Amino acid sequence: MRLLALIWFSLLTLLGNFTATAAVVRTKVDLVNLTPDVVPGQKILIAARFRCDPHFHIYWKNPGDAGQCPSITWQEKAGLTLSEFFYPGPQLLDLKGVMNFVYENETFLILEAQVPANAQGTLNLKALVEWLECDDAGCYPQQKNVSLTLNVGKGNPAQAFIRKLYPELNPSLTTTAQVQGETLSIKLPEASLTKLWFPEKNIVTPGAVVAQKSSAGTLTMNLKDATDSLQSGPLYFVTQTSEGGFVKVEIKLATAASPAPTPTNHPPEGHTGSLEWQPWTPAAQETALAAGKIVYIDFTARWCATCQVNKRVYSQSDVAQALAAHDVVLLKADWTRKDAIIAAELAHYGRQGVPFNVFLKKGVPTAQLSEALTASEVLEALDAVSHNQAYQAQTQSHPFWVWLGLAFGGGVLLNLMPCVFPMIGLKILGFAQEAGSSRRVVILKGLFYSLGVLGSFLILAGLILALKAGGSAVGWGFQMQSPGFVLGTCVLMITLGLSMTGVFEIGAEFAGTAASAESSHGKWGAFLSGVLATAVATPCTAPGLGAALGFALDKERSTPETLLFFFIIGLGMALPYLLLTIFPKLTALLPRPGEWMETLKQAMAFPLFAYALYLLWVLNALVEEAAWVRDASLGLSVIALACWIWGRWGAPHRSDQERRLGKISAAALYLGTLAYLFHTLN
């Protein structure tokens, strides 16, 4: 029961961490009129009005280091010709070193509308507005259908707005600039324009915006690490005037000079070193595609074990040289944390998790690669894209039963993925133990293990559906984005590993690992083994499983269909073990029970310890403070000490007083350390 309590503690931590973020919409959005008189043949102003709750914000046209600007899709325009959004001047938000250009409180994103010359009666407008709202805890993609009815003529209700805040509605300025190395020097068109200059494109980073300097009528900024080049098109900045308004400034380069060239992927012949990777952003992707480049995006995460295995492909000389020869722009979309923008981009391709890898080129169908990468596949896809040929369609249309087959096959192959390796020792020991058991007991254990797997997959599906309905950006392996769950799993791996080495006995009931386990204990141990196997398997994605999960979690799927898919995945994962227990003669291939079992049990503790270290590495990317990871490492040592005390002084040969004192001391150390770690976990 102690193991059961620990597992449920981890699951409850997961639930608490994610349901706290699955909040209601925190931004009110509607469509409003700004012009009282709607005259046929003339222009009017309307706006999408955003009213953010305290501590929440939305983004400017250039979001900065992260984020996404709002968008509007018209469903009914009543014959009006509508412009793009006119944005007011933004404000800078420094969120723990991440620099963003945002709006808080109430904001009008204005649209200019040309009224038809023959307009009469009423004009009905309908649109879908999509935006990303964020606070200190995270970001949440939202959408809403909005509408507005205008009467042709005078006296329409109109909202007041501050015109001087909108650069597009005010006279613009023009000036010149020069580039010297990595420095952009802009001649100030007016002496008073010395406040922050916000670039409409990423020609300078937000950090360079903050660090800009003004001296002797010149504004200087550093071009280092910018994702857009100065040759990518017209250069516009927005800055605040001394009167508090905003003005747009067009920059014209005085010389043909350009910043230092960005390093390209050209390793020497035979070189197998690191390639040059850039962080993925929508802007970086669009800029590279607009320049005619081939783009390769690696959607990855630290907690995704399959992703880490895939990275071996990039170090192979033939792959590295091919990527360099084609001057491929390499972008890494790191989904280690709950990044709503990356989640939305994955959903765009019909995926709900990582790993996912694609080649992109303007005018060529997207080349989607398999979940488990091989060098030959990367080279074949690159060759097809470079010759403007389709490697794999962006979307696939299969009958429903084919998708179910992919889900089943992916579930079977999960047993071969690296995430499940730490559990292999427990399964082998279980098979060896069952070799001498009755057929009924063996089959019951197989059924209970399968029930543990199937039940866990159904609970996982329910959690994903509930969290997505609440607005959270989640997908396969989402629980590994929760620091609480990763910490709980790390502690569990350490505890199980110490038990397998003989430091203490975790209980004969777990997964049938003790020779004296009773039948009822063995059944529930097998059930818990299925739960644990599912928990450690989900950070991996088997071939075919990613596409099937994308289909299962598509918004067009009903809840019963999604639950069926997850049931089929669980059935595929449980089936090999179930078949081995239904046909127990297969266990005759194993040596007879003996001393080798104890040796194997102790040896298989080390994969558990290795997995715990891997989880600690994942935690290092999830938490904000490096000092906490240091405390967690010390805490795991204290937990190991508690387990040793339990085994040393809680052993049966000790006196009652020694056992009582030993177990109380061990429990206090173990639970106290856990409480401290979870309390201080950011």
CATH number at residue 322: 3.40.30.10
Task: Examine the domain organization and report whether 176 and 131 are in the same domain.
Answer: no
466: buried, middle or exposed (CB in 10 Å: 19+, 13-18, 0-12)? Answer: middle
3: buried, middle or exposed (CB in 10 Å: 19+, 13-18, 0-12)? Answer: buried
Q: Bigger pLDDT: 96 or 503?
A: 503
216: buried, middle or exposed (CB in 10 Å: 19+, 13-18, 0-12)? Answer: exposed
Give SS3 for 217: coil
Residue 657 lies in a domain: no
Q: How far apart are CA 445 and CA 451, in angstroms?
A: 10
Contact between 85 and 48 (Cβ < 8 Å): yes
Task: Examine the domain organization and report whether 450 and 414 are in the same domain.
Answer: yes
Mean per-residue pLDDT, 55-60: 93
Q: How far apart are CA 335 and CA 354, in angstroms?
A: 8
Q: Positive or negative, the Cα torsion across 479, 482, 483, 484?
A: negative
Q: How far apart are CA 638 and CA 653, in angstroms?
A: 25
Task: Examine the domain organization and report whether 153 and 40 are in the same domain.
Answer: yes
Q: How far apart are CA 530 and CA 456, in angstroms?
A: 8
And the tokens for 63?
A: 């979001």
Q: Bigger pLDDT: 555 or 640?
A: 640
Q: What is the pLDDT of residue 468?
A: 67
Residue 109 pLDDT class (50, 70, 90 cuts): very high
Q: What is the pLDDT of residue 458?
A: 87
Residue 397 pLDDT class (50, 70, 90 cuts): low
Q: DSSP secondary-structure letter at 315? A: G
Task: Examine the domain organization and report whether 349 and 429 are in the same domain.
Answer: no
> Three-state secondary structure along 4-73?
HHHHHHHHHHHHHHHHCCCCCCCEEEEEEECCCCECCCCEEEEEEEEEECCCCEEEEEEEECCCCCCEEE
Give SS3 for 666: helix
Task: Examine the domain organization and report whether 593 and 448 are in the same domain.
Answer: yes
Residue 221 lies in a domain: yes
Task: Examine the domain organization and report whether 409 and 376 are in the same domain.
Answer: no
Task: Examine the domain organization and report whether 175 and 156 are in the same domain.
Answer: no
Domain count, the chain: 4
Instruction: Say which residue the tokens 């991440």 belong to.
Output: 98
Q: Bigger pLDDT: 169 or 475?
A: 169
Query: Is the pLDDT assigned to residue 409 strictly greater than 90?
Result: no
Q: How far apart are CA 663 and CA 650, in angstroms?
A: 6
Q: Bigger pLDDT: 277 or 413?
A: 277
Q: What is the pLDDT of residue 382?
A: 93
Range name among 29-33, 35-39, 115-119, 563-567 with the lowest pLDDT average: 563-567
Q: What is the pLDDT of residue 258?
A: 42
Q: What is the pLDDT of residue 261?
A: 42
Q: Bigger pLDDT: 478 or 13?
A: 478
Mean per-residue pLDDT, 234-252: 91
Contacts with 583 (C-beta within 8 Å, 6 or more apart), sequence order: none
Residue 177 lies in a domain: yes
pLDDT tens digits along 282-301: 888 988 899 899 999 999 98
End-to-end CA gap in the chain? 29
pLDDT tens digits along 171-199: 999 999 998 888 999 999 988 888 999 99
Query: Is the pLDDT assigned to residue 310 strictly greater than 90?
Result: no
Task: Examine the domain organization and report whether 249 and 285 are in the same domain.
Answer: no
And the tokens for 40?
A: 């046929």
Whole-angstrom CA distances from 133 to 20, 27, 101 are: 15, 7, 13
Mean per-residue pLDDT, 610-634: 80
| Domain at 74, CATH number | 2.60.40.1250
Query: Is the pLDDT assigned to residue 479 strictly greater than 60?
Result: yes
Q: Bigger pLDDT: 288 or 468?
A: 288
And the tokens for 198?
A: 């916000």
Q: DSSP secondary-structure letter at 510? A: S
Q: What is the pLDDT of residue 13?
A: 46
Q: What is the pLDDT of residue 470?
A: 67
Q: What is the pLDDT of residue 682?
A: 64
Residue 397 lies in a domain: no
Residue 431 pLDDT class (50, 70, 90 cuts): low
And the tokens for 360?
A: 């992109």
Task: Examine the domain organization and report whether 370 and 410 are in the same domain.
Answer: no
Q: Bigger pLDDT: 259 or 463?
A: 463
Mean per-residue pLDDT, 327-355: 84
Q: How far apart are CA 602 and CA 611, in angstroms?
A: 15
Range name among 443-447, 637-641, 658-662 with the lowest pLDDT average: 443-447
Per-range mean pLDDT, top range of 33-42, 89-98, 397-406, 650-659:
33-42
Tally Cβ neighbours within 10 Å of residue 668: 12
- Tell me the sheet residues that pair with 27: 52
Residue 522 pLDDT class (50, 70, 90 cuts): low
Mean pLDDT of all residues in the chain?
81
Query: Is the pLDDT assigned to residue 325 strictly greater than 80?
Result: yes
pLDDT tens digits along 62-86: 998 878 899 999 999 999 999 999 9
Residue 473 lies in a domain: yes
Residue 198 lies in a domain: yes
The backbone torsions φ and ψ at residue 134, rounded to the nearest 5 degrees and listed phi first, read -135, 155
Task: Examine the domain organization and report whether 57 and 175 are in the same domain.
Answer: no
Tally Cβ neighbours within 10 Å of residue 582: 13
Per-range mean pLDDT, top range of 251-260, 430-439, 614-623:
614-623
Query: Is the pLDDT assigned to residue 618 strictly greater than 50?
Result: yes
Mean per-residue pLDDT, 558-566: 84
Contact between 284 and 205 (Cβ < 8 Å): no
Q: What is the pLDDT of residue 140?
A: 83
Q: DSSP secondary-structure letter at 259? A: P
User: How would you classify the pairing of strands 197-199 and 235-240?
Assistant: antiparallel
Residue 301 lies in a domain: yes
Contact between 572 and 411 (Cβ < 8 Å): yes
Q: How far apart are CA 666 and CA 487, in angstroms?
A: 20
Q: How far apart are CA 46 and CA 77, in angstroms?
A: 12
Percent of the chain predicted with pLDDT > 90:
29
Mean per-residue pLDDT, 110-121: 93
And the tokens for 161?
A: 């707005």
Mean per-residue pLDDT, 555-572: 83
Task: Examine the domain organization and report whether 50 and 141 are in the same domain.
Answer: yes
Task: Examine the domain organization and report whether 450 and 583 are in the same domain.
Answer: yes
Q: What is the pLDDT of residue 607?
A: 82
Q: What is the pLDDT of residue 399?
A: 72
Contact between 259 and 181 (Cβ < 8 Å): yes
Closest among 187, 300, 323 to 546, alpha carbons compared: 300
Tell me whether the omega of the peptide bond preceding residue 157 falls within 30 degrees of 0, making it cis.
no
Residue 112 lies in a domain: yes
Q: What is the pLDDT of residue 515?
A: 33
Percent of the chain predicted with pLDDT > 70:
81
> Which of 355, 386, 417 finishes a domain?
386
> Three-state secondary structure along 127-162?
EEEEEEEECCCCEEEEEEEEEEEEECECCCCCCCCC
| Domain at 226, CATH number | 2.60.40
Residue burial 544-580, b: 16+ Cβ < 10 Å; e: rest: bbbbbbbbbbeeebeeeebbbbbbbbbbbbbbebbeb
Residue 435 pLDDT class (50, 70, 90 cuts): low
Query: Is the pLDDT assigned to residue 9 strictly greater than 70?
Result: no
Q: How far apart are CA 253 and CA 235, in angstroms?
A: 9
Q: What is the pLDDT of residue 371?
A: 81
User: How would you classify the pairing of strands 329-334 and 277-279?
Assistant: parallel
Q: How far apart are CA 564 and CA 557, in angstroms?
A: 11
Residue numbers of the domain that contains 99: 27-165
232: buried, middle or exposed (CB in 10 Å: 19+, 13-18, 0-12)? Answer: middle
DSSP for 341-382, written as a single string: HHHHHHHHTT--SS-EEEEEETTEEEEEPPSS--HHHHHHHH
Cα atoms in the 13 Å half-sphere on the side-chain side of 453: 29
The dihedral formed by the CA atoms of 427, 479, 396 and 293, expressed in degrees to the nearest 10: -120
Q: What is the pLDDT of residue 425?
A: 59
Closest among 171, 195, 172, 180 to 254, alpha carbons compared: 180
Give SS3 for 613: helix
Residue 518 pLDDT class (50, 70, 90 cuts): very low
Q: What is the pLDDT of residue 11?
A: 42
pTM over 0.85: no
Range name among 157-171, 344-358, 529-543 with the lowest pLDDT average: 529-543
